[in-house]
Chain A
């Protein structure tokens, strides 16, 4: 897990109830929760910035994330090979063919699944 961002006000983002405040002078945009049909991505309604700041839950653990909000970026950050990984967002399986059109949102619960010995 990457270390919590220092927002410059002496508070850690990974603590529950932490207020999120703008950092580095950029406007902080709160994006909507991902709908259950992630392919209905909301594109273009907010300016695409150098990065978004959001709290995700990844594989059951809190995960502060800053980036473009794409699946590819998240997987790369976690060193998970896209070809061998399956993805669920908020309890719904997201097919690989739709990954490009998905943008992660604040509070999203992401599950990364791989094959394991068993069965």
Chain B
């Protein structure tokens, strides 16, 4: 198998210089590839958003029907040894830190289940002795006994650690490279475990090797030149899919948004470009799950659900826990813009002709150890 090739130089110029005719062709191509993806990122394509949206919607319907998968994030801890300049949990920020106790985790899970959530994404800060692999694995095991699907968005792990997560009931792992630009990456992560660019880059492959069923990729839009980062993200996804033919890949679109007194993006990405990137991914990778969080506004989320985006978080808290009232308070990682609860959000989806899905039936086929208590359709 070939090595991961992330050089995108000539594609960037293609992305910048494409004509409107090329864009129209690229939108309509039946077997699109990197070439079409680059063209769809161009400024000219930015003038064809309606056509891109139409094709993105058609392809989303074709592969995902008129449904949106829903999940909720659950932060297990916000202790962190690392200074990522853009993150609310950075080690040099004076914030309220907390780590869920087992009892708190149980009550948080109960609260989420009462909201109807069946898929939970567990998060922590960077690796710490007190909140390391075992902590995450135990959290996964607890969650797997309550929720149908458990995924984790945590620090980069070894292949055998990932295998341990899989054995504990974890289905997927999300790990954003943040930026694929090594120079900017080094500047943004000067020390701590996360400083190792190559170790992090290789982590999704280790996760799939370790037996996790799918990996979630992404870049934090705004950290570096978005065209370059997104082109590299595309290549990374393509390479992983080729190398792990049985594994799944999903793409998320976290974006640096202005927060009071906080990190300001060096390469700010506005909503139109964000939408363009989502549409481009849908058109060039029609069968990949595309995920959008509650970081974006209700208006944006409503508009893009089903138009490229096939999976969304709902009723999110980015504090540690926060769904149950009994958990100790803590500071959030970033501000939520869409604060709607599950009922309200699902009502919106239905009004748009989309069915909200809280998937809970795959567990019927799994080995007995992994069955959740709610394993019935």
Are A and B close enough to touch in the complex, i.e. CB under 8 Å? no
Which A positions have Cβ atoms within 8 angstroms of B? none
Using a CB–CB distance below 8 Å, which chain B residues touch chain A? none
